[in-house]
Amino acid sequence: MEIATHHFATRIGQGGSTTVYKGVLRDGLEVAIRKYENPHPNRYDEKPEMHRLVHLCSMLEHKNIVKVPGYCDENRGVDLSNENTPKEVVGEQLDWFSRFQIIQGITQGIIYLHTHSGKPTIVHLDLKPDNILLDSDMNPKIGDFGLAKVLEDDEINASVRGTLGYMPPEYIVEGVISVKNDVYGFGVTLLETISGMSKSGRDTRHQASIEWAWEVRNSGVMNKLFHPSLCDNSQLKEIKRCIETGLLCTQKKPTDRPTMPDVLQMLHGMKKVPTPKQPGYIKRVREAERYKQVWAERL
């Protein structure tokens, strides 16, 4: 790893527990070396799980998953090499056709992680636009498995690590991990991808994209919200279906969220999208605003 990166000379990214360096392997393949720092290097109880996860990731073979050519284990942590796909997913100039292809690719990648035959379920736990990369053919690839967990049971409990805005309530409050964590993160990412086409939602991030989507769904004037150069009226029905699917994925209760195979069918119109409830985030914000208004009137 040190030779490939020229002693970790070129840093190209930084995460909560990782630093990313540019590297070149002996065969000329450009890679991104993710250096995972172990905050507890003497805690050997965490190592078997990490080793197993890294080994599983190195065997993943899917067009929408960043390939892992190899890894190196040290006492301080683990260095993981990924194919280098530097383009971020949410770009302002992408039209709806391109965005929908990206959304479908992300969906298929998550389905593979959750259901790939003969292997344990992998929960990514940090799905967000920054971790969805595009190759030269605009194919989306899910990367950065630094927080991922191998799921033996339907759900487990663990310490909370991730990116606020993409983590579901049950994980933030109780540390509960299931495949529905990824469904929530995907939902937020989906809504951000759509909001990037709108005149009013281009800069929305995290929870703001959920509120934006709820307002758009209830506006009844979708044809006025999106730039005509990025989508036409014939695509608005498909966009609305994707917005409703994204809102369904970000429901407060895990049981109200669909599975990723169901999401794929909903995106294609092969399965009816149940009517989403108002997201809990918006309820809390509006209740706080009402309380603030009541107290302001009393003073």
- Give, in order, the Cα–Cα distances in Å from 289 to each of 189, 219, 285, 295: 26, 21, 6, 10
- Look at residue 288 in the predicted model and tell me its pLDDT: 46
Mean pLDDT calculated for residue range 142-146: 84
- d(C-alpha 227, C-alpha 96), whole Å: 10
Q: Residue 256 has what pLDDT? A: 97
Are 159 and 176 in contact, with CB atoms under 8 Å apart?
Answer: no
Q: Which residues pair with 188 in a beta bridge?
A: none
Q: Which segments within 220-296 are labelled E, that is strand?
A: none
* In 117-246, beta strands by DSSP E: 121-123, 132-134, 140-142, 149-151, 156-157, 176-177
- The residue count for the chain: 299
Residue 119: predicted pLDDT:
75
Residue-wise pLDDT for 55-92, tens only, equals 777 778 899 998 776 666 665 555 554 555 555 555 55
Which amino acid belongs to residue 78? Answer: V
Q: How far apart (Å, rounded) are the C-alpha atoms in residues 282 and 272?
A: 24
Residue with tokens 């049950």: 170
Domains and CATH numbers, the chain: 12-83 (3.30.200.20), 87-285 (1.10.510.10)
Asked which of 22-26, 197-201, 243-247 is least confident by mean pLDDT, the reply is: 197-201
Residue with tokens 């933030």: 172
Question: Given this model, what pLDDT does residue 47 score?
Answer: 58
140: left (phi over 0), alpha (psi -120 to 50) or beta: beta
Q: Which residues are catalytic?
A: 126
Instruction: Say how far apart CA 224 and CA 118 lie, in whole Å.
Output: 48
**pLDDT, tens digit, 9 for 90 and up, residues 273-291:** 999 998 876 555 454 445 4
Over residues 220-241, mean pLDDT = 78
- 253: confidence class by pLDDT, cuts 50, 70, 90: very high
The span from the CA of 190 to the CA of 278, in Å, is: 17
Q: Where are the beta strands (DSSP E) in 87-205?
A: 87-88, 121-123, 132-134, 140-142, 149-151, 156-157, 176-177
Cα dist from 106 to 127, 129, 160, 234, 285, whole Å: 10, 10, 24, 23, 30
